[in-house]
Structure 1
Amino acid sequence: MPNINRRALLGGAAATTVLAATAAAAQSDMIKPAGSVKGKTILITGCSSGFGRLMAEDYARKGAKVFATMRNLPRPAASELSALASDEGLDITVLEIDVTDDAQVAAGVAEAERLAGGALDVLVNNAGISTAGPIEIQDMAATQLLFDTNVFGPQRMARAALPAMRAAKSGQIFNVSSQLGRVMLPGFGQYSPTKFALEAMSEQMAYELAPHNIEVTIIQPGGYPTEIWANSNALTQGLLDRAEDKHLNGYEAMVTRLRSASNNGGSTDPMDVPNAIAEIIAMPAGTRPLRRPVHPGSKPQVAINEVSAKAQIGWLGESPYGPMIKAVHNV
């Protein structure tokens, strides 16, 4: 099977940013492949393309046992990945998981654990979607879909995987957030609210799981050329088409721009995200970061990350919660 150009793998991952205009024109500080994932059992959501597809291929080529999950099987993306695994002798199992479906999540994780012979080593919550537009025009259908996918999806996956991880007293969870999980971009719909929620949920989970020797890392990508842009544009056009004039009329300039949207995430290399996650997987337990910004250009969330960590340590560091807080922040 021919190799697929990774820049053409447009993915339903959770990577979006402060629009393509802020993406670096050239990748000057690309994250280099580092660290070993050999022998790890890794389940990744949203593997039909984008970050998820890249992770599945890369980690399997490096010796991991990969469970590549996606929704709506059978589909060409699943057949292509299975064929690639067969051609290259890669340990990739494609499983059907729609992260909005309780039964599929439970069954998919159980099957992965059965095939792995126990708890997963790593869970990567990568699946995500986006719509744009002012908050006022975000109807409840759009709002519920985004929260169900971007927030409740990772929660479903974690709840399914954690009992076995806790029993094994080990494990790692990566939740793919965004720059927009820490900074706000007017007109980006419910995307930032869902990613802010994911950030908070992930941090709380990190504290609660520290005594169980399970680590949580939040990945904060900037703009990358994945299919979330095309998918977002399509969802946004549908939202605009069904929106009532009484909501649209207050945002004429913004709506005009949205109707002609052609964002694609810039020219950065999507392999930054798989490389960053692999690097963290390989780090010694107890040294892994709570948050990892990933982008060669502007990273406006860094200052917020630093202030947030200081606030948590200052507020709770000497309280009964102190050991959890300090363990997560490597103090």
Structure 2
Amino acid sequence: MATILITGATAGIGRASALLLLRKGHRVIAAGRNEASLAELKTAGAVPLVLDVTSDADVEAAKAQVDALTKGRGVDVLINNAGYAQVGPIERVSDAQWRAQYETNVFGVLRMLRAFVPQMRERRQGRIINVSSVVGRLALPFFGPYNSTKHAIEAISDSLRQELAPHNVFVTLIEPGAINTGFGAIEHQGFLAHAGEGAPYAAQVAQIAAFQKQIHPNAASPQLVARKIAKAIGSARPKARYVVPFLRNRIFIALAQFLPTGMTDGVVGRITGLERVKV
């Protein structure tokens, strides 16, 4: 049995992962901001932890609670899952929105790493699973803030993996594509804020919103991602990256790896429907 801490555990991928890992017999510390959802996870057997990853004080308090629970040993697995998507045209997203996006998606991860990695390194055992996205490999238009945070998580994870390998601590990236969670509805509302009549990029944003609304109902389930996370935890030597779902998104990522940039842009335009938009 492993002791596993999951951030953003109250919904979507985090919740699905918490429930699956509980069924597999692990001790799960479910961290998040929604106390009602945490209470439900407690009923399922998780240890609830109220945590806002943007707060230094919250992370310090979480570390103290985990130390008390584990008698100073710390966690075996840290799953950095908390995050959200700030969408919109680059020039129309405010500084405050950019900072908030980075505070959660990047600095929140860094706070958790600083809090929990030292114990893993010192005892020469541990796993870190960072939930990224396929847009961390191939950026989509009008997802700029979110794209950039996931590119940052990819680079941070690649560096950290190499730094911790000699200490027998594994670092793994989970790269989901579109997942059928509440994420999609929130993104859609974000797009609509930039799609009003007369707004710059209105036609393009309306099209990307329509594309996003179309794909999410048919997207993969969060349970599929949870199973991939469980696989990484159970593997003797986990991969550096797990793409979910594999075939659909592996092709997507291959565009960025093997096609010239201009061709990749063209394919993205066709897939999203943006190439048909008149501006």
Q: What range is the shorter-chain TM-score in? A: 0.7 to 0.9
Question: Matched residue of 1:298: which SS?
Answer: helix
**Equivalent pair of 2:139/2:147 in contact (CA under 8 Å):** yes
**Equivalent pair of 2:88/2:190 in contact (CA under 8 Å):** no
Aligned to 1:266: 218
Greater relative CO, 1 or 2 (CA 8 Å, sep 6+): 1
**Equivalent pair of 2:157/2:173 in contact (CA under 8 Å):** yes
Aligned to 1:76: 36
| 1:193 pairs with 2:193 | no
Say which of 178, 182, 189 aligns to 1:223: 178
Aligned to 1:158: 113
> Residues 190 and 61 (structure 1 numbering): CA distance in 2 closer, same or farther, change over 3 Å?
same
Structure 1 residues 291-302: aligned runs within 5 Å? 291-296=241-246, 297-299=248-250, 300-302=252-254
Q: Deviations over 1:40-69 (max 9, x none)?
A: 000000011111111111111111000000
> Residues 97 and 54 (structure 1 numbering): CA distance in 2 closer, same or farther, change over 3 Å?
same
Aligned to 1:320: none
Aligned to 1:254: 204
Deviation at 1:267, TM superposition (A): 3.9
> Residues 259 and 55 (structure 1 numbering): CA distance in 2 closer, same or farther, change over 3 Å?
closer
Aligned to 1:58: 20
Matching residue's letter, 2:53: V
Deviation at 1:258, TM superposition (A): 6.0
Aligned to 2:59: 105
Deviation at 1:237, TM superposition (A): 4.5
Question: Matched residue of 2:218: which SS?
Answer: coil
Say which of 247, 267, 279 aligns to 2:231: 279
Q: Deviations over 1:204-259 (max 9, x none)?
A: 01111112111100110011101111222334445x39x9x7xx42x131233467
Structure 1 residues 1-16: aligned runs within 5 Å? none
Deviation at 1:304, TM superposition (A): 5.7
**Equivalent pair of 1:119/1:168 in contact (CA under 8 Å):** no
Question: Matched residue of 2:121: which SS?
Answer: helix
CA distance in 2 between counterparts of 1:103 and 1:265 reads 38
Question: Matched residue of 2:99: which SS?
Answer: helix
**Equivalent pair of 2:181/2:221 in contact (CA under 8 Å):** no
Q: TM-score, normalised by structure 1?
A: 0.71
Aligned to 2:159: 204
Question: Matched residue of 1:190: which SS?
Answer: helix
CA distance in 2 between counterparts of 1:97 and 1:252 reads 37
CA distance in 1 between counterparts of 2:172 and 2:205 reads 35
CA distance in 2 between counterparts of 1:275 and 1:306 reads 29
> Residues 272 and 305 (structure 1 numbering): CA distance in 2 closer, same or farther, change over 3 Å?
farther
**Equivalent pair of 2:22/2:28 in contact (CA under 8 Å):** yes
Question: Matched residue of 2:181: which SS?
Answer: coil
Matching residue's letter, 1:301: I
CA distance in 1 between counterparts of 2:206 and 2:55 reads 35
Q: TM-score, normalised by structure 2?
A: 0.83
Identity of aligned residues (%): 38
Matching residue's letter, 2:185: A
* Unaligned runs of at least 5 residues, structure 1: 1-38, 308-331
Higher helix share: 2
**Equivalent pair of 1:178/1:219 in contact (CA under 8 Å):** yes
Matching residue's letter, 1:135: I
Question: Matched residue of 1:218: which SS?
Answer: strand
Aligned to 1:180: 135
CA distance in 2 between counterparts of 1:252 and 1:235 reads 13
**Equivalent pair of 2:4/2:78 in contact (CA under 8 Å):** yes
* Unaligned runs of at least 5 residues, structure 2: 260-279
Matching residue's letter, 1:269: S
CA distance in 2 between counterparts of 1:112 and 1:305 reads 40
> Residues 140 and 166 (structure 1 numbering): CA distance in 2 closer, same or farther, change over 3 Å?
same
**Equivalent pair of 2:164/2:170 in contact (CA under 8 Å):** yes
**Equivalent pair of 1:70/1:98 in contact (CA under 8 Å):** yes
Q: Deviations over 1:171-214 (max 9, x none)?
A: 10000000000002112131111100110011101111112111
Say which of 239, 244, 247 aligns to 1:289: 239
Aligned to 1:120: 75
